[in-house]
Structure 1
Amino acid sequence: MPGPEKTPDFPNAEATPRSRWRLQVVWLVPVLAVLIGGWLAVKAVIEKGPTITISFLTADGLEAGKTKVKFKNVDIGLVKTITLTPDHERVIATADINKNATNMLVDTTRFWVVRPRISGGTVSGIGTLLSGSYIEMDVGKTKAERREFVGLETPPAIANDVPGREFILKSTNMGSLDVGTPVYFRRLQVGQISGYKLDPDGHGVTLRVFINAPYDKFVLTDTRFWHASGVDVTVGSGGIQVNTQSLVSIMIGGVAFESLPNGFDDAVAATDSTYTLFPDRADAMKAHYHVVVKYVADFTESVRGLTVGAPVDFRGIVVGEVTAIYTRFDPKTQKFTIPVEIDLYPELFTSRYEAGAISAPGGRVSNDPHALADRLVARGLRLQLKTGNLLTGQLYLAADFFPDAPKATVNWASSPPELPTVPGNLQRLQDNITQLVAKLNTIPFDAIGKNARETLASAKTLLNDLDTMIVPQAQGTLAAAHAALDSANNALQPDSALQQNATDMIQELSRTATAFRTLADYLERHPEALIRGKQQETHP
């Protein structure tokens, strides 16, 4: 009988107490998540860029959380909030900027909202019609950092990194100019207007022009700027002149510059040099002389056609210009005159003119500044109105010598001094015609007509007497002459006796000529016949 089964031997279990600090595997994932989250948070804090505020007049085109800040079309930030200022006059856009753009936030950095714009003949911001507006940044060149900025309401015409230089122009008015208006050099666009403002006294405007490199080296010390807007039509003593820069300048205006062809100062101008903006090229390129002498010329004739700016011409050379025209009443003579003020440039009369070294009569040297003018006037120098253009009727002043002109002197007591004048050619012609008409009026045409009528009556009576006494005798003479002609005609008829006798005589003369010819032939053969006579011919 089998015995009872034996129980296998198992080791006895021993209870081991659980450690209080033992980490369970199930908690490993949350711990790692916390560590990664913390690392990301720390990294975000470390990599977070600066926060800036930009002030604008309006929030047009801006939207919190969507409007981006860009530099050269690269995203460098995002607008987070848009709030009003405490006085409700402006809006504050708060934007977070990337850390790698921190060094670009300096004092002269500029911000503006890019929207579709048309300015100065250029169209910008068209892409924002689809993508929406954004804030553009232009990096400044200073080093001082800044976090609060005032945004520009209009985009700057020139970015800070564009090579070139700015210059200042002074003008009496803006004309059709605007920011972005092109600047031309020899009809090539080389720059544009970057800004303008009204002068504090209100008498003019100040413009800033930016000339791109390398064209800025052509702006010299004696460079002249002028309005090139539209079509420049000038009507003067030289006729009609039309000048323009380009089709763009006709529509939107422009500024042009050029240096004087014979300028004395050809040094390159410094940045921010100030120039005058002239109304047109003719005025800009006009020579500006250091010595200007002002005179006045008094005319009694009409000056219609003479304008301010008309030239003063000396034998084809412009030596001055008209600066003012007005009227003056003389209470003594009870007559009106027309004074014309002019500016003369003594430098144009001679390139070797030296002030204070004018030769006086007798070889002396005169230091009197009036000596030259007195000598020229004494020799017959006068001012005269002349027609410069028959088509336009424009007049100019001609200075020339008139030896037969009445004696005159310079009136130095007048202010400005007064130069003598002579009537113009048209006025002299009118005066001559007036004198001729006056002389014709003194001729007694009535008495002359009466005497002529009496003379004609006497001639008629004489003709009647001649007809009574001479005509009958003349008729008899004519009858006798007619009879003589009839007799001559009868004598010349072919069957008349005279004609027959003339024919017989001609025949007889012919026979005589034949006999002489026969005799001559015989004598030529027998010249001895003149001595011996004619020999009898013998026949064999």
Structure 2
Amino acid sequence: MPAPDKEPDFPNADAVPRSRWRLQIVWLVPILAVLIGGWLAVKAAIDKGPTITISFLTAEGLEAGKTKIKFKDVDIGIIKSVTLTPDHERVIATAQINKDATNMLVDNTRFWVVRPRISGGTVSGISTLLSGSYIGMDVGKSRTERRDFVGLEVPPVISSDVPGREFILKSTNMGSLDVGEPVYFRRLQVGQVSAYKLDPDGHGVTLRVFINAPYDRFVLADTRFWHASGVDVTVGSNGIQVNTQSLVSILIGGIAFESPPGARDDTVAASGSTFTLFPNRDDAMKAHYHIVVKYVANFAESVRGLTVGAPVDFRGIVVGEVTAIYTRFDPKTERFTIPVEIDLYPELFTSHYQTNAGGRISNDPHALADRLVAKGLRLQLRTGNLLTGQLYLAADFFPDAPKATVNWESSPPELPTIPGNLQRLQDNVTELVAKLNTIPFGAIGKNTQQTLASAKTLLNDLDTLVVPQAQGTLAAAQTALNTANNALKPDSPLQQNTADAVQELARTATAFRSLADYLEQHPEALIRGKKQEAHP
């Protein structure tokens, strides 16, 4: 055991000076973190997409750092901030877009806020009730880049990548239409209303409809569009007609289109072509004529039941329509008349008419009207439907009608008329009643009473003078009849004597027959007499 005061034996330490550039291991972690952070920052800067601004009327559904921008349900950006414009009328949403979506930011790209909406017959944005609103995006086809956009307040009905074509419709009113309303072709939904606006003059509206491919090829140059909203009930001279496209159109409305029968222009309409939107199918399918001549017809009878648009019928063929009905007072006669203005289509009279020489009749409306009126052409009110009481104008020939001419000095020219069948019946009844009123029924009644009194007196005289003599005559006649009956009885002497006389006549006839037979065999007996038969 060593002594306690002896020091332990340790090696001597040599002092080495510390290097200024020697890296301690503990610093590796922060250095690596800085390098990774720098790399991430550089990568983020490299991958960072463009920043855009979208202007909206309101910030409803927008939230900085949360509201995303989606294209076909794929996140392509996020809203970074939402601020007011300097005039406080709109909001500016600043969004960061992914780098791979940069080529989508072109001039006609559209943005809108997707939120729950009910428009017409469509319901959209239901998923946002749970996930929250987001900004939808529709990529345009322009090649011009853009970074500032104006957001849509209403989502577009048709995406830019949907095949089809858009057309423009002009109408006097919107009816029950709205964006997204269906468009029908032969009761098949083939498109929808994409937009509408009021015309600058305020006299109508302009609608845009999108027809999906391949149905857009059925929109021709002569195609007609009309309102198919609800139930179209037409009460006219042809009766009651009910037309509708579908149950959806009854509830929310819609538009239908079709080409008229016999349309000659089958050229497919170009995209953006403008058409007229008619109020109903009947108006849409009416033929369009190049020659339209206006006339007026004055009626002294009631025109109750005649409406604007009523047909002018020529033996079952519609050759015009009523355009106006009003009243006119003549200060000279102090009488009211009912002028009815009509549009006539001379083409319907002349298009298939040919003379014996093979040439066409003159298209001069004056000459044609004068010739027809001279032959008895007149306008007459007639009942088209007894149930509804609707009237129409009939153009027909009445050879017995009084002579008349077309009044070309009137504006429009005036065609002659003839009272309707009912009016003529009323006039005849009135004339008959007037004639009956001229008959002296009082004097006739007095004379009749006198005659009846004289007849009664005569009957009394006959009863006094003639009846007794007639009774005696009848008694004598009865006696004669009784005597005759007694004489004609089977057991009466007259009957017995008559029977004996008949028997004698029969025997006499037999004797004459025997004599005739003998003379036939022996004619000489007339001279010599009957020979004596020899006795044996």
Q: TM-score, normalised by structure 2?
A: 0.87
Output the CA distance in 2 between the equivalents of 1:12 and 1:253: 106
**Following superposition of structure 1 onto structure 2, how do residues 508-523 of structure 1 map, counting pairs within 5 Å?**
none
TM-aligned CA distance change 1:476 to 1:213, over 3 Å: same
Given that 2:350 and 2:361 are in contact with CA atoms closer than 8 Å, whether structure 1 keeps it comes out as: no
Output the CA distance in 2 between the equivalents of 1:484 and 1:104: 138
Q: Which residue in 1 is equivalent to 2:63?
A: 63
Q: Comparing 225-234 with 454-463, which one deviates more in the overlay?
A: 454-463
List runs of 5+ in structure 1 lacking aligned partners. Answer: 1-10, 517-530, 534-540
The Cα of 1:272 is off from its aligned counterpart by: 1.0
The Cα of 1:305 is off from its aligned counterpart by: 1.0
Q: Residue 169 in 1 paired to residue 169 in 2?
A: yes
Given that 1:226 and 1:281 are in contact with CA atoms closer than 8 Å, whether structure 2 keeps it comes out as: yes
Q: Which residue in 2 is equivalent to 1:448?
A: 444
The Cα of 1:468 is off from its aligned counterpart by: 2.0
Q: Residue 113 in 1 paired to residue 113 in 2?
A: yes
Q: Comparing 420-429 with 364-373, which one deviates more in the overlay?
A: 364-373
Given that 1:291 and 1:345 are in contact with CA atoms closer than 8 Å, whether structure 2 keeps it comes out as: yes
Tell me the percent identity: 83
Q: Which residue in 1 is equivalent to 2:455?
A: 459
- Counterpart secondary structure, 1:192: strand
Given that 1:183 and 1:193 are in contact with CA atoms closer than 8 Å, whether structure 2 keeps it comes out as: yes
Q: Residue 349 in 1 paired to residue 349 in 2?
A: yes
Aligned with 1:471 (options 430, 450, 467):
467
Q: Comparing 115-124 with 146-155, which one deviates more in the overlay?
A: 146-155
- Counterpart secondary structure, 2:100: helix
- Counterpart secondary structure, 1:463: helix
Q: Which residue in 2 is equivalent to 1:426?
A: 422
**Following superposition of structure 1 onto structure 2, how do residues 289-328 of structure 1 map, counting pairs within 5 Å?**
289-328=289-328
Q: Which residue in 1 is equivalent to 2:36?
A: 36
Q: Which residue in 2 is equivalent to 1:383?
A: 379
TM-aligned CA distance change 1:109 to 1:474, over 3 Å: same
The Cα of 1:444 is off from its aligned counterpart by: 1.7
Given that 1:358 and 1:365 are in contact with CA atoms closer than 8 Å, whether structure 2 keeps it comes out as: no
Q: Which residue in 1 is equivalent to 2:6?
A: none
Q: Kindly provide the CA deviation profile for residues 476-509 of structure 1, in whole angstroms up to 9, marking residues without a partner as x.
A: 122223334444555677887678x589979x99
Output the CA distance in 2 between the equivalents of 1:264 and 1:504: 108
- Counterpart secondary structure, 2:350: coil
**Following superposition of structure 1 onto structure 2, how do residues 83-482 of structure 1 map, counting pairs within 5 Å?**
83-352=83-352, 369-482=365-478
TM-aligned CA distance change 1:504 to 1:407, over 3 Å: closer
- Counterpart secondary structure, 1:112: strand
Given that 1:179 and 1:193 are in contact with CA atoms closer than 8 Å, whether structure 2 keeps it comes out as: yes
Q: Give 2:64's aligned amino acid.
A: A
TM-aligned CA distance change 1:491 to 1:80, over 3 Å: same
Output the CA distance in 2 between the equivalents of 1:532 and 1:128: 161
* Root mean square deviation, CA, Å: 3.1
Given that 1:320 and 1:343 are in contact with CA atoms closer than 8 Å, whether structure 2 keeps it comes out as: yes
List runs of 5+ in structure 2 lacking aligned partners. Answer: 1-10, 512-530
Given that 1:358 and 1:371 are in contact with CA atoms closer than 8 Å, whether structure 2 keeps it comes out as: no
- Counterpart secondary structure, 1:262: coil
Output the CA distance in 1 between the equivalents of 2:194 and 2:212: 12
Q: Give 1:214's aligned amino acid.
A: P
Output the CA distance in 1 between the equivalents of 2:276 and 2:445: 74
The Cα of 1:53 is off from its aligned counterpart by: 1.7
Output the CA distance in 2 between the equivalents of 1:145 and 1:232: 49
Q: Give 1:314's aligned amino acid.
A: F
Given that 1:358 and 1:367 are in contact with CA atoms closer than 8 Å, whether structure 2 keeps it comes out as: no
Given that 1:221 and 1:268 are in contact with CA atoms closer than 8 Å, whether structure 2 keeps it comes out as: yes
Output the CA distance in 2 between the equivalents of 1:235 and 1:176: 21
Q: Kindly provide the CA deviation profile for residues 247-287 of structure 1, in whole angstroms up to 9, marking residues without a partner as x.
A: 10001010111111112321111111111111100001101
Output the CA distance in 2 between the equivalents of 1:160 and 1:532: 154
Output the CA distance in 2 between the equivalents of 1:504 and 1:127: 132
Q: Give 2:373's aligned amino acid.
A: V
Q: Kindly provide the CA deviation profile for residues 284-313 of structure 1, in whole angstroms up to 9, marking residues without a partner as x.
A: 110111100011111111111111111111
Q: Kindly provide the CA deviation profile for residues 85-116 of structure 1, in whole angstroms up to 9, marking residues without a partner as x.
A: 22222222222111111111111111111111
Output the CA distance in 1 between the equivalents of 2:246 and 2:299: 43
The Cα of 1:221 is off from its aligned counterpart by: 0.8
Output the CA distance in 1 between the equivalents of 2:345 and 2:467: 86
Output the CA distance in 1 between the equivalents of 2:340 and 2:405: 17
Q: Give 1:157's aligned amino acid.
A: V
TM-aligned CA distance change 1:505 to 1:369, over 3 Å: closer
The Cα of 1:464 is off from its aligned counterpart by: 1.9
Output the CA distance in 2 between the equivalents of 1:277 and 1:244: 16
The number of equivalent residue pairs is 503
Output the CA distance in 2 between the equivalents of 1:393 and 1:366: 38
- Counterpart secondary structure, 1:430: helix
